[in-house]
Amino acid sequence: MSKPLVSESLSDTVRSKMESELVAGHLAPGTVLDERSLAERFGVSRTPVREAVLHLAAQGLLNVIPRVGVVVPKLGIRELLELLEMLAEMEGVCASFAAKRMTIVQRAEFRAALKACRQAARNGDSKRYAGANKKFHEIIYAAAHNEWAVRQVRALRMRCAAYQRSRFDLAGRLDKSLGEHERIVAAIEAGEVARSRLAMQEHISIGGQDFADLVRGLDPNLLASG
Amino acid sequence: MSKPLVSESLSDTVRSKMESELVAGHLAPGTVLDERSLAERFGVSRTPVREAVLHLAAQGLLNVIPRVGVVVPKLGIRELLELLEMLAEMEGVCASFAAKRMTIVQRAEFRAALKACRQAARNGDSKRYAGANKKFHEIIYAAAHNEWAVRQVRALRMRCAAYQRSRFDLAGRLDKSLGEHERIVAAIEAGEVARSRLAMQEHISIGGQDFADLVRGLDPNLLASG
DNA sequence: TTATGCCTTGTGGTATACCAATTCTCTATT
DNA sequence: AATAGAGAATTGGTATACCACAAGGCATAA
């Protein structure tokens, strides 16, 4: 949990920088890099870069192809659907765990986060809502009290970050999201495991028209051609 | 799926060898290794060994500690519980996916696998049952049609392999497991998503007396002291 | 004009050498 | 005998050099 007092290794530094660029949207899917350029860019040798790349590749965030380079993998629509389906399930699992194990103090934080969501939604402030939303979900992760579940859901979020930025910019999304948050809070506070899971699952999952909107809003170049 | 025609890299070779040793039970939790010895043992230089170790560390199967060595991490009881809980959830997710998407031919294979389980259980052949059991679950993974879910559940199984070998050696386990399999097949073939998930979850999860038995049967040295 | 084969170029894969930091041990002192 | 301290030994971290191999440009022949 706590950051090591000794300076983290260069590999870790490079890895987190690349992670940031990945989720921020620079290094878009389809980009091909090479280790030497990366090494030069980060001011280190190839070794730490390679280790960072290998680590990210192990998580599926990068794809290293011999004699070609390291590429940011593109997802086909089918793969994207699978990923989002998985994410919804995992978030549902976390919510169900939270329903079983949320502490008193976490419950207070939870209510506060919900209140922040309400205010942001009332003002139509999508940027502020995004922040409150993140806080909301972070509390659920903490309340899940299961390190592996949380780690996995974070990895999944990173994995599909490039494909679902700015979900809150569409009209009506804020109020819809808020309503779902209210349902989630009710279920978790009642300790109803199954209902918590379902509410979260529906909150995260993208079905029907929503998915069509998502795909339409995507840069076609982000999708795999094959 | 298909093996690459070009010979796989030394890193991959070393990695799969170490994975095998990990799940087979050599390299027990608590063991500390060092990269140089491993390199010598596998007849390669430190680099491929290091890359293999890093990859495994990214999956949580190893823990590399600066100036100490790479250690096979021990799990505390709490962590072990979290891991098994997570595994049960993930298997449940896969089962629910399978209930939605199992194909006709997979359904036939599924029934055949169940039949094999029945025969092995009737003969009390725990070794044979273990094989049939593996086949049974593999079919569900395939029927889930979700690459990420399957990959994750495999990783979890590897992660806790050292702590739950020979679950079928206890008296009555075979029949109990078979009964659960029957329920799972019924649920999946009926396409009942929620029931499939629940049946699988209960099949995998270890509760109450079962967990006590598991812990009692463990080598205390496998558990983290701290 | 088109197709084919060679060759240059650049990639990741591997080996090795060196470094800094921690651990362990042995000794000297109390 | 116990303890503290210094130094030796060993660890992972990093840099660098070299290698095999495939992609792609380019010349040449049909």
Note the pLDDT tens digit of each residue in B156-172.
Answer: 999 988 888 767 777 78
- Does residue A53 carry a pLDDT above 60? yes
Domain A77-219 superfamily per CATH: GntR ligand-binding domain-like (1.20.120.530)
- Does residue A215 carry a pLDDT above 80? no
Report the CATH number of the A11-71 domain. Answer: 1.10.10.10
Burial class (CB in 10 A: 0-12, 13-18, 19+), A177: buried
Interface of A with B (CB under 8 A): 6, 9, 50-51, 54-55, 58-60, 66, 79, 82-83, 85-86, 89, 93, 97, 145-149, 152, 156
Note the pLDDT tens digit of each residue in A133-148.
Answer: 999 999 999 999 999 9
Tokens 């190839």 -> residue: A46
- A69 three-state secondary structure: strand
Tokens of A125: 């402030």
Those residues with Cβ within 8 angstroms of residue A86's Cβ, 6 or more apart along the chain or in another chain: A156, B93, B146, B148, B149, B152
What is the structure's pLDDT at A194?
96
Which one-letter DSSP state was computed for residue A131?
H
What is the structure's pLDDT at A166?
67
In chain A, what residues touch B193 (CB-CB under 8 Å)?
none
CB neighbours of residue B142 within 10 Å: 16
Beta strands in B37-113 (DSSP E): 63-65, 69-71
**What is d(CA A34, CA A96) in angstroms, rounded to the nearest whole number?**
42
B26 vs B185, higher pLDDT: B185
What is the structure's pLDDT at A138?
98
Helix B46-58 to helix A46-58 angle, to the nearest 10 degrees? 40
Burial class (CB in 10 A: 0-12, 13-18, 19+), B190: exposed
Tell me if domain B12-71 and domain B77-222 are identical in fold: no
What is the structure's pLDDT at B31?
92
Q: How many residues does chain B have?
A: 226
Q: Which CATH architecture has domain B12-71?
A: Orthogonal Bundle (1.10)
Which one-letter DSSP state was computed for residue A223?
B
Per domain, the residue ranges of chain B are: 12-71, 77-222
Q: Footprint of strand C, using CB within 7 A?
A: A 6, 33-37, 46-47, 50, 64-70; B 9-11, 44-48, 51, 66-68
Report the CATH number of the B77-222 domain. Answer: 1.20.120.530
**What is d(CA B181, CA B177) in angstroms, rounded to the nearest whole number?**
6
- Does residue B135 carry a pLDDT above 90? yes
- A167 three-state secondary structure: coil
Q: How would you label A38-52 residue by residue, b for 16+ Cβ within 10 Å and e otherwise?
A: bbeebebeeebbbbb
* H or E segment to which residue A67 belongs: none
What is the structure's pLDDT at A207?
66
